[in-house]
Amino acid sequence: MTKPLVGLIVGLANSDSIAFGCAQALKALGAELAITYQSDKAKPFVAPLAKELDAALFMPLDVRQPAELAALFGAIGAQWGRLDFVLHSIAFAPKADLQGRYLDSSAEGFCTAMDISCHSLVRLAKAAEPLMAEGGSILTMSYYGAEKVIANYNLMGPVKAALEASVRYLASELGPANIRVNALSPGPVATRAASGLAHFDALMAKAAARAPLHQQVSIAQIGEAAAFLLSDKSRHITGQVIFVDNGYSALG
């Protein structure tokens, strides 16, 4: 009998989170999930969703806290003895640096955004590697602003570009262990993280109007793509950035 997939979801903040759409799709495939919450303040919003998903583990994880990362992966090892997938769906930049010109971004703000939004993927991958002795899949979330200048995306554009480069380098280094690393690049979605971008509603409307399919992408549709990339059905795909944006990025 085939064992169910077991995996970690990082970045679930509320029911509008991309991570929640991904978790729902993975649960529909029969996966067992470990869910994290960022802080005590966030816990009441995430706890009902973890219960709905019947999470096997529900633990705190501030990716800036090494002790919390170690405790989480220790618990995963004790619970399952292995890990099949990791979903990394977190991004943050200080508001002043995000909403100002990239030219005016502070060194501190840049480093904070890079650490939380990009290098945290590296730390998660390193912690997951020993539990993926039989292979696994790691997935993160990017955005088209990594490739092209998007109005008001500002600081996050270079940060997401670094994230996409990290995907390729991690895929190369972890490939011999049969661990795949990819990124999804969804179209704009109304999440809490996106609310920090200036004029985001206009960005969503423009993307929907211009995209060949003339619609906005949903967290459920993003989740379906994520479930594919985190399952064995995509076992020959690694080091890729795959767009789920109704074709917007194809227009250049």
- Which residues are marked as active site? 143, 153
| Among the listed residues 88, 111, 121, 74, the one whose alpha carbon sits nearest the alpha carbon of residue 22 | 88
Q: How many CA atoms lie within 13 A of 141 on its CB side?
A: 33
What tokens does 55 get? 């999470």
In whole angstroms, what is the distance from residue 59 CA to residue 49 CA? 13
Q: How many CA atoms lie within 13 A of 187 on its CB side?
A: 26
In whole angstroms, what is the distance from residue 1 CA to residue 22 CA? 25
| Among the listed residues 59, 55, 69, 68, the one whose alpha carbon sits nearest the alpha carbon of residue 27 | 55
Q: To the nearest 10°, the Cα dihedral for 62, 63, 68, 70?
A: 170
